[in-house]
A and B are shown apart, each in its own frame.
Chain A
Amino acid sequence: MLQGAVTSRVVRGVGALTVAVGLLVTNVSGLGARPAAGLAAAQPPQTRDQRLYPALQREPGDPEVIARGQAVYGISCRACHGLDLRGGDLGGPNLLRSQLVLKDDGGDLMGPVIRDGQSGAGGSSMPPQNLSDADLDAVVEYIHDILGTASRQGGPPPGEEIELDILVGDATAGQTYFADRCASCHSPTGDLQGIGARVESPKELQDTWVRGGARNAERPPTTVTVTQPSGEPVSGTLERLNDFLVVLTEDDGRHRSFTRRGDTPRVEVDDPMAAHREMLPLYGDADIHNVTAYLVTLQ
């Protein structure tokens, strides 16, 4: 069923791909302002020679030449290598990961192949392309320009976020599962009232409930009781715990820490998130999808 879900959305994905390529076309006209692709948005803009990835270090080409190259690519190359350069129906390889393209310097490797053609891997072959020198140079420039948008660890150039529907579950089955496994701590009319409306997207809702809260959400504190062999139990909010130390804050704000040696002192931790952790190995993916489908109905 899950695989069926993937297949049914393939067509949609290809449609979205066209949108992504459209974005690249937009980039061509706005070259100077293009952000450093793949680098974290929080980083200050870097000059090209400050970028760690080879394709990103290249100086941008002449926008007019690139635009010409894009047009030439559309006419002579696209049918085989695909609109987005990642390979096409007629068997042309993905140019964005081609070793020859990556190593090309100003057409020294691509030029002869475009001009003369070549026999490719697996018996495929590329016919010679009858291009003027200017058009050949332009298409090489265009390909390098697209390579310069690749993301840092070998991903494709970033396109527009593709909207995918993750809701494949059965809300009724999800409600049953919820009643069995979740309702001892959570209530659709209590803490989860309107959760489907409060969380931005079904995907975020799913990640949030499986994790047991939003990524940076304030969680109920973990409390701990430490009992020395001779002495009163000391309880408070757990600050740190490892095999050698337990640190807590008592209700009055007092800081306490205790050395641990094996089972001494006795340390009892009450972690409200423990139930979520313990559920992780027990969920089936269908359970997760069903519960998500149910929770989005809590508007």
Chain B
Amino acid sequence: MTAAIATHRPKPPRCVTAMAAALLLAPIASSAQPGGLDPASLVAPLEDSWPTYSGDYSGRRYSKLAQVTTDNVQQLTLAWTRTLDSGMPALEGNNAPDFIGGEGTGDFTIGSQRIKGSILQVGDLLYVTAPDHVWALDVRDGGERWHYFWKTRGGPHIGNRGVAVWRDSVIFETVDNYLVSLDATTGEERWHTEIASFEEQYFSTMAPIVVGDHLLVGTGNDLDAPGFLQSFDPATGELQWKFYTVPMTEQDAGIETWPSLDAAMHGGGQVWVPGSYDPETNYYIFGTGNPTPGYTGVARRGDNLFTCTLIAVDVDTGEMAWYFQTSPHDTHDWDSAQTPILIDGVIDGVPRKLVSTAARNGYFFTIDRVTGEHLVTTRYGATSNWASHIRESGSPNPHPAKEAIIPGSLVSPVEGGVANWQPPAFSPDTGLFYTQENNGFNMLYLTDPDPRGSMGLGGKDRVTVGSGGNALSAIDYRTGETTWRHAWPVGGGGGAGVLTTAGGLVFTGDGSGNFVAFDAADGDLLWNTRIGNISNAPQTYLIDGRQHVLVAAGQQLFAFVMY
């Protein structure tokens, strides 16, 4: 599907072999390079620093750092902690942000926001975001280097997933749909450009992803608007291409899965969360959000491509190479936008280039990431009850009785899903894919039986009635079977992402106020510290030769170190 691909300048030359060759080099020290962070260094596997959303392009959140191990994690020590005020700042005076931008009035009353994104670590600075805020903090004590604040026009302030660093620029998305480029050293704004229509109720949360001289940018919307992924020139903010995730003309692929073009053009499929990038194929692989209207599928009968779909696009052209739909005709607001993980594995004795994803709908998938060939589908959400069967294609088939109905249907998972934006992790040492697994139940009622369907997320009432128990699950990518599973005590689970390391550890939150470490091989619980509920995914990097582990709990950052 190639609707509205706009190339405003010659495509920059790109050399796949050069980038692939960089993979073979020792990890590139990304600190204090002249001209800032070289985008070519991002193909290196995650080790000393954390220069892009998932640490590296693979989405594995697996660090080669091994100072902290299953044997010594008990000695992990707090290095520093810092609380960031992510509410509305004073715009004048000593505590005012260093730089203030934005097209809004700056007088909205917006409460403090939890830190729900990745924190990039490049050189001596950490780059942290909350909606409308970016901070650069010293990596050794969390001290503030600069603070940039954006005066918003409005929109739902639900979270921000972090910045991208491109050379000496820090680039982020605002809720009211601007891409803003800052000087990475000073925090001064270089430029901002509008990436989606505020009036059409788009709003933006994603962390942009740098791939060479492309900046991949997703945005969101809950009002029956088409989803798209865009590529911008990270130097200038100029649009390079725009890939729509739903058909926008009668000729576009997938149109046969919608009752009409009007339904398709209002069909959603938003690009909420960063994907992963495969340098060998030059494919950016990402998931799309739910079709709209979210809960009333009556006016969009069909599979609704390419919503709730894993998609590979060529980064230079924005053209789709392959797709696999993880939730045909979703009617539960279960985006399939979670970050997929690239795995170089072996299936049936044959080395394969794979991508695995644990979807919000409770199903786990492994796909050949070169061809899009489906290999594995399993249910990992213990109580997920909405599918009638697995289709020959590998997609779970939705059962109509589990849609919102007037007398109520009992549906698991709840709206938030078995997993959500919180990143999973994969360890090549264990071959296991680690994800939170949430098994709530809703009674789901249709409240707007209008044959035209409702709009947006309207037309339903959902009532939470209990939980089948939450867990952290370790899934074998080859079979989709759960190798080990740690059931959280009643009330635990939920909102933390996952990190795994060559020290044989899995770090996450338990949903009961603890930051915890497991033995990655068998799920033995090795360590905890009670710092509050974790609100992002833990990260790790090397400072002064010491491994650090960084995590956010609400508005507070905690950096741990192994001495």
Contact = CB atoms under 8 A, between A and B. Distances in A.
B94 interface: no
A184 interface: no
A162 B459 CA distance: 10
Interface residues of A, number: 68
Nearest to A88: B452
Contacts of A162: 447-449
Contacts of B316: none
Interface in B410-459: 410, 412, 441, 443, 445-452, 454-459
Interface in B162-203: 197-201
Contacts of A153: 156, 222-223, 456-457
A122 B455 contact: no
Contacts of A243: 488-489, 492, 510, 512, 514, 516, 525, 528
B468 A280 contact: yes
B157 A13 contact: no
Contact of B410 (A10, A120, A283): A283
Given A86-B452, A206-B443, A97 B406 contact: no
Interface string A52-70: 1111010000000000000
Interface string B508-522: 001011101000000
Contacts, number: 207
A87 B406 contact: no
B489 A154 contact: no
Interface stretch (B259-267, B387-395, B476-484): B259-267
A271 B466 CA distance: 14
A243 B449 CA distance: 45
Most buried by A among B223, B409, B463, B468: B223
Interface stretch (B101-109, B120-128, B227-235): B101-109
A280 B408 contact: no
Contacts of B199: 54-55, 102-103
A9 B451 CA distance: 10
B39 interface: no
Contact of B463 (A122, A155, A207, A288): A207
B156 A281 contact: no
Interface string B97-122: 00000000101110000000000000
Contacts of A156: 448, 454-456, 458-459
Contact of B456 (A155, A280, A283): A155
A12 B528 CA distance: 56
Contact of B406 (A152, A165, A283): A165
A277 B467 contact: yes
A241 B491 CA distance: 9
A211 B379 CA distance: 25
A167 interface: yes
Given A102-B200, A154-B224, A122 B410 contact: no
B340 to A, nearest CB: 26
B449 A280 contact: no
A12 B467 CA distance: 34
Nearest to B333: A153
A51 B154 contact: yes
Nearest to B385: A281
Most buried by A among B153, B443, B514, B528: B443
A281 B412 contact: yes
Contacts of B452: 82, 86-87, 94
Given A165-B406, A211-B465, A53 B155 contact: yes
Contacts of B450: 13-14, 17, 86
A55 B153 CA distance: 12
B550 to A, nearest CB: 22
A6 interface: yes
A244 to B, nearest CB: 5
B383 interface: yes
A86 B383 contact: no
Interface in A240-299: 240-244, 262, 271, 276-277, 280-281, 283, 285, 288-289
Interface in B228-264: 250, 260-262
Interface string A154-168: 111000001011111
A99 interface: yes
B490 interface: yes
Given A49-B105, A53-B155, A206-B408, A99 B449 contact: no
B308 interface: no
A52 B449 contact: no
B216 interface: no
Interface string B541-554: 00000000000000
Contact of A277 (B105, B410, B464, B468): B468
B273 to A, nearest CB: 18
A216 interface: no
B288 interface: no
A3 B402 CA distance: 10
A203 B445 contact: yes
B522 to A, nearest CB: 13
B451 A242 contact: no
A210 interface: yes
B292 interface: yes
A227 interface: no
Contacts of A223: none
Nearest to B153: A54
Contact of A154 (B197, B405, B455): B455
Contacts of A165: 406
Interface in B122-165: 153-157
B383 A210 contact: no
Contacts of A54: 153-154, 198-199, 201
Contacts of A188: none
Contacts of B491: 241
A142 to B, nearest CB: 18
Contacts of A120: 262
A12 B446 CA distance: 13
A242 B266 contact: no
B10 interface: no
Contacts of A154: 201, 221-224, 292, 455-458
A54 B221 CA distance: 13
A52 B156 contact: yes
A280 B465 contact: yes
Interface in A33-77: 46, 49-55, 57
Interface in A212-257: 212, 240-244
Contacts of B261: 121-122
A5 B405 contact: yes
Contacts of B222: 153-154
A153 B410 CA distance: 24
Interface of B: 105, 107-109, 153-157, 197-201, 221-225, 250, 260-262, 265-266, 292, 382-383, 385, 400-401, 405-410, 412, 441, 443, 445-452, 454-459, 463-469, 488-492, 510, 512-514, 516, 525, 528, 530
14 contacts: A6-B405, A14-B451, A86-B455, A94-B455, A97-B224, A103-B199, A155-B455, A166-B445, A241-B490, A242-B512, A244-B530, A277-B466, A285-B408, A285-B409
The 8 closest A-B pairs by CB, nearest first: A154-B456, A154-B223, A155-B458, A13-B449, A242-B512, A52-B154, A97-B224, A154-B222
Given A9-B449, A280-B466, A283-B410, 15 more contacts: A97-B225, A97-B456, A102-B201, A103-B200, A121-B261, A122-B260, A152-B156, A155-B458, A156-B458, A164-B445, A169-B407, A203-B408, A242-B492, A276-B466, A285-B408
